Amino acid sequence: MKSFFIIKTQQGNHYFYSLSKKQLGIINPLLYDIIESCYNDTELPSHYEQNSIKKLKDKYSHAEIDYYYEKYKFLKENNYFDDITSNSRYKFIEEQLIHIKKNNSITFEITEKCNLSCKYCTYGELYNHYKKRDFKDINFKIIKNTIDNYIDKDSKELSVSFYGGEPLLNFEQVTKTIDYINKKFKNNIKISYSITTNGILIHKYIDFLKENNFDILISLDGNIEDNYLRTFPNGENSFKSIYNNICYIKTKYPEYFESNITFNSVLHSKSNQSGIFNFFKREFNKIPLISEISSTGLVKEKQKDFKTIYKNLQQNNKKINSDNIELFKKKYCQFNYESIDQFIYGDNNEKIIPTGTCAPLSRGIFVTADGTILPCESIPHCYKLGDVDDKLFNLNYKSIAESFNKYLSDAIKTCNRCYYYLICGKCIFNMGIDSGKIKCDSFKNYQQFKNYIKESIEIAEVQAKEHSI
């Protein structure tokens, strides 16, 4: 792939970026013009009337052109223009997964039941890639067997999360699980608890959740208009109930609210990111997580309905923020080091995982109410890692490694043509791997990535100007 970019910003500055060298620098406008005009020439044309250099002589003297052409030659002779290939080549092996697994993180689907009927729910009528919901509660024997067999006894930390359905509909099982874990590990392991809830019942159990220092993620899409897809089974908007419960917690436990409560919002066709951010900042002084409606596993007959409510998160987020710029600097520029080893030895041997897929078990495991073990709650059931019941705990590390290697190898051809590969956040399980055709809406060709660099630089220029005032 072509590895160099010349960029002119709205501020009138000129830049040269070499992906092969991971170096970005501001350059003289004449050097910009020479690169643009003469890149395909092997040496400076001796006759200044030749097409590739003719337009420059009206703006610059021969001496200036000669001087900056020497700089251009230096860049070319030192491989700043060399083509690059993505080194997405990572392969998992069984021993790696056993090591990764030691993070000791488990999420339990406490129940399949829910007291809302959200239009975009991945277990709803739009989708068919999950097992049929029987509205069952998880058997405590599944929880106990998972804890006894999965948790590394030598680990110093343990993270346990509760998910649904709506987990607070089976609160008895939540308390039973915590009692068992606390008795088994309390003196040996640092334990943290978290729960994802729609907030309808949270006011009833907030005392217990605070007492056990739960991190709480509440699903709310914004104001009452933004929240119109999150309804009760009778079609009533759930906003007022959730909002009142949130205000109750904020008033009763202000410090706990500040430190332990976060929000997740789903972007849809009638909402926008700035409106969502403004609502949570104004009402709760919080910045929510924002996700888009899943496009994986759609029922063919429901695709038209899906399109009426879907909005692409990346396309909606036109403006690049400071986090994006820091990520660009970290991954696409030299001289940004995270450790002394990286400074001394560099990243030449770094293995890059194709796509933004998490390494298997790196986020722990998600155990469904029927005992299916998945990489996380967002993954369709057909990509299970294993099974657990009241007697058996089946998690085959070799089989998991082989499966992930197969999935990722299918994506490499696409990834190796993409300039976004170093900071890709796209999960392989949301790219149509089951259809045999990889579809990635995060893919960036040369021009798209050039636009991304340009936008990043322009934001940085504005920030630098504001700080200098």
Cβ atoms 183, 204 nearer than 8 A: no
80 has pLDDT over 80: yes
Q: Alpha helix (H) ranges present in 261-366? A: 273-284, 303-309, 313-316, 322-332, 340-345
Task: Report the range of poorest mean pLDDT among 43-52, 115-124, 278-287.
Answer: 43-52
Cα–Cα nearest to 110, from 401, 454, 357, 369: 369
Task: Report the range of poorest mean pLDDT among 18-32, 34-48, 453-467.
Answer: 34-48
Give buried/exposed letters for 369-407 (b at 16+ CB in 10 A, else e): bbbbbbbbeebbeebbbbbbeeeebebebeebbebbeeb
90 Ramachandran zone, left/alpha/beta (phi>0; psi -120 to 50):
beta
pLDDT in tens, 175-204: 999 999 999 987 778 999 999 999 999 999
Q: Which two tokens stand for residue 175?
A: 């308390």
Cα–Cα nearest to 414, from 440, 448, 451: 440
Helix/strand/coil for 5 = strand
120's enclosing H/E stretch is none
Average pLDDT across the chain, whole number: 85
pLDDT in tens, 108-130: 999 999 999 999 998 899 988 77
Cα–Cα nearest to 377, from 189, 166, 107: 107
> Counting Cβ atoms within 10 Å, is residue 173 exposed (0-12), middle (13-18) or buried (19+)?
buried
Give CA 197 to chain center in angstroms: 21
In Å, how far are 118, 346, 400 from 310, measured between CA atoms?
Answer: 14, 42, 32
452 has pLDDT over 60: yes
Task: Report the range of poorest mean pLDDT among 115-119, 253-257, 339-343, 369-373.
Answer: 339-343
pTM of the complete model: 0.81
Task: Report the range of poorest mean pLDDT among 102-106, 316-320, 448-452.
Answer: 316-320
Axis crossing angle, helix 446-468 with helix 322-332, rounded to the nearest 10: 120
pLDDT in tens, 213-261: 999 999 999 999 999 999 999 999 999 999 999 999 999 999 999 999 9
**Torsion of the alpha carbons at 384, 388, 393 and 394, rounded to the nearest 10:** -30
Cβ atoms 239, 227 nearer than 8 A: yes
- Rounded CA separation 335/350 (Å): 16
How large a percentage of the chain has pLDDT more than 70?
Answer: 85
